[in-house]
Structure 1
C-alpha cells in the first residue's frame, strides 16, 4: 500500500464547492465536488485543464500555468473574473470561504472569510495542493533552475521560513552582482556580502540536502511501480562548491571559501559564479541523468513518482493530506501502469481531481463524481 492506513487519521483538505464567473472559457458555473475522487472528462480543448486550474487558483490565489492575471479573464466576458469556493479541513473542523477576482488590467483581489490576507504567499500555504500536468515533464528534462525552484517550493510548504531565506539570498546576490558589475569591486569591499551569502546560503543548501534525502526514501519504489521498470530512480544534489560536510556551519565555511577563491573569476565575469543559485539538482533513472538520457515516457513517470513522494512528505511532516490534481495523466500509461496509478489513488485518503479525454480510461473503483466538459459547459 503506497499510502498507509495510518494516513487516514490525519487531516484531509477538501474543496467542497466552486463557483466560476468569466474564468477562462467558463461564463458561469457552480459545482460541488466529491470529497475523495473527481473525474473531469471530455474532448481536447473543451476546458478540462481550465477547471483544474480553477481549483488550484482557489487554493493558491494564482494561475497554475504561470500567466498574468489578465489572461484568466474570459474573452468576450466582463472586465473581471471571479472565483468563489468553500475549502474544508476535517480535523480540526475548519470551513474557509475563499474569493479570488482577476482584472483584465492585471490586478487581483483575494478574500479569505471576508478579509484580505496580509501575506498572500503565507496564507496560500494553508491550502496544500500537489499538481501534475503534461508540461511538468520539464522537471526531469529541463534546466536545473526549474528543479531548484520546485524543490524550494516544497521546502517552503514544509518550512515557511525558507521563503524568507530565498528572498534574503536573492537580495544579497543582487547587491553582490551589482558591486561586481560596477568594475570597482575589491576583495575587502565584497567581504560583507560574502559573509551574508555564506550564512543564508548554508541554511538553504542544508534544507535542500535534507529534502533530497527524504525524497529518495520514496521515489525509487514509486517509480518502479509507475514505470514498470527494473531500474530505480533518485534525486541527486550537486553543489557548485566543494563541501567538507552537510552541517550548516560546514556549508557556510565552504560557501565563503568558494566565494573568496572565485573573486578574481567573478570580477572578470561581473557576476557571482558559485553558490546555491548555481547548484544542480537532477533526477536520475538507473544512475543516468534524465535530462540527457530519459525518454518522454520515462521522464513523465519519474516526475509523477516525484509528485507522489511530495505528498508522502506532507503526510509525514505536516500531517496533512493535500489536494492532488492530475491533468491528462493516463494518456501515456499502458494498462499495467494505469492500474498501479489508480490502485494508488484508491488508497489515497485525500481529495483527487483527474482529467481525461475518456471516462473509460479511468480505472478508479471507489465512489466518485464525474464532470463532462463540452465547450466550457459542465454536466454531471
Structure 2
C-alpha cells in the first residue's frame, strides 16, 4: 500500500470566517458536519492551499482573508509527507496586492509554491464540479490540467509560460506592422510549450483509461471514457519535434486570421475533454444528475489511485458535500474505496448520519460559525 501522507496539525489565521483555529489530527479521515455556511468548505479550501495555485475555489488571495482582518491570511500544517515530516506555512502578508503568496517549509522561505508537490499531492471534488459535463470547455480544461499537475509538477509552469507567450503574440498581431522575427520567436516558444502541454494531457488521459479499465467491475461507480478534441486531433502520436514544427507552421500561416479575430485560434488552449458513460455508451452531459455525480466520483478515485501508484504516496483527498446524490450503497462503497487508496480524506456534509458507514475510520467534527468541536 502507498505511504499515507497525513496532516497531523492544521492552524488557520484570518482565513475566511476563521479568526483563529487550531486542529490536532491523527491518521484517520476527517469528517466535517454542520449547517450550510458554517465554514466547512472554508476549512477544506485551507487544506487545498497546501498545493500550488489558488485553491479549490480559485479565489483571488485578497478575497480569502477574513473580512475586517488587518493583514492577509495564513495556513500552517504539520504533515508526515512524501519526504518525511515537514512544517508548511503559507499565506499572504500585510499590504500584499492579493496576486501572490508566500511559502515556508520548516521555517525556510521556499523558492516557489511548486515545492509543495515534493511533500504532498492534494486532489479535490467540490459541488461546483458537478456541472463539469454540461459546463464550458474551459472548465473541463482546468479540471484536466489540475489532474495533470498532480503527476507532472512542471505542467503548471508550462501552461503559464504558454499563456504569456500567446498574449505577447496577440499584442504583436494587433500592431500595424508586427516584427516578423519576434513573431517567429514567440511562435517557436508557443510550439514547444503547447506540444509539451498536449502530450502531458494525452498521457494522463491514457493512464486514466488504463486505471478505469482495470477497475470496471469494482463497485457501483460507472466507468468513463475520455478523449481530447480541439488541437491536432489524432496527430500527436509522433516525435515531439515534428508536432512542434506543424504547430509553429499553423501559427505562422494563421497570423492574418488571428489578427482579424484578435486572438489565437489554434492551440492547447482550445482543447476540450470529452467524457462518456461507458456502460451506457452515452455522453456524460446527457446522463442523469446521479449518474453524473457517480461518474465524477469514479474519475476522481481513479485519478487518486493513479497518483498513489505513480508517486508511491497516496494523495490527500478533499471531498466536499460528497454524499449528495449518492445512495446508501454508493456511500459505503465510496468509503471503502477511499480506504483502499490508503490516503487521508477530508469530507463534508450537513448530516452526520450520512457518514455512519465510516465508523471508527474517521474523526467526526462539528463546524459552527467558525468554531470546530469534536
TM-score of the aligned structures, taking structure 2 as reference length: 0.87
Q: 1:314 aligned to 2:304?
A: no
The within-5 A match list for 1:150-169 is 150-169=143-162
Q: 2: distance between equivalents of 1:327 and 1:114?
A: 30
- Shift in Å at residue 223 of structure 1? 7.7
Q: 1:95 aligned to 2:85?
A: yes
Q: Against the structure 1 CA distance between its residues 273 and 40, is the aligned structure 2 distance closer, same or farther, given a 3 Å change threshold?
A: same
- Shift in Å at residue 166 of structure 1? 2.0
Q: Which 10-residue stretch deviates more, 318-327 or 172-181?
A: 172-181
1:35-67 superposed Cα distances (whole Å, 9 cap, x missing partner): 131111112221111122222224558443122
2:32 to 7, 23, 40: 40
Q: Which 10-residue stretch deviates more, 346-355 or 70-79?
A: 70-79
Contact 2:117 / 2:153 at 8 angstroms: preserved in 1?
no
- Shift in Å at residue 313 of structure 1? 1.8
Residue in 1 that maps onto 2:339: 346
Contact 1:40 / 1:371 at 8 angstroms: preserved in 2?
yes
- Shift in Å at residue 185 of structure 1? 5.0
Residue in 2 that maps onto 1:367: 361
- Shift in Å at residue 349 of structure 1? 1.3
Contact 2:51 / 2:117 at 8 angstroms: preserved in 1?
yes
Residue in 1 that maps onto 2:195: 202
1:201-227 superposed Cα distances (whole Å, 9 cap, x missing partner): 222212211111111123467687676
- Shift in Å at residue 329 of structure 1? 0.4
- Shift in Å at residue 245 of structure 1? 4.6
Q: What SS does structure 1 have at the residue aligned with 2:250?
A: helix
- Shift in Å at residue 261 of structure 1? 4.4
Q: Which runs of 5+ in 2 are unaligned?
A: none
Q: Which 10-residue stretch deviates more, 59-68 or 15-24?
A: 59-68
Residue in 1 that maps onto 2:113: 120
Residue in 2 that maps onto 1:67: 59
TM-score of the aligned structures, taking structure 1 as reference length: 0.85
2:284 to 279, 283, 290: 290
Contact 1:42 / 1:374 at 8 angstroms: preserved in 2?
yes
Q: Against the structure 1 CA distance between its residues 79 and 201, is the aligned structure 2 distance closer, same or farther, given a 3 Å change threshold?
A: closer
Q: Against the structure 1 CA distance between its residues 274 and 101, is the aligned structure 2 distance closer, same or farther, given a 3 Å change threshold?
A: closer
Q: 1:22 aligned to 2:11?
A: no
- Shift in Å at residue 76 of structure 1? 4.7
Q: 2: distance between equivalents of 1:227 and 1:82?
A: 40
Q: What SS does structure 2 have at the residue aligned with 1:346?
A: helix
Contact 1:242 / 1:254 at 8 angstroms: preserved in 2?
no
1:234 to 218, 225, 248: 225
- Shift in Å at residue 274 of structure 1? 0.8
Contact 2:191 / 2:244 at 8 angstroms: preserved in 1?
yes
Residue in 2 that maps onto 1:251: 243
Q: 1:12 aligned to 2:13?
A: no
Q: Which runs of 5+ in 1 are unaligned?
A: 1-7
- Shift in Å at residue 188 of structure 1? 7.8
Q: 2: distance between equivalents of 1:27 and 1:168?
A: 36
Q: Against the structure 1 CA distance between its residues 339 and 374, is the aligned structure 2 distance closer, same or farther, given a 3 Å change threshold?
A: same
2:254 to 262, 266, 270: 262
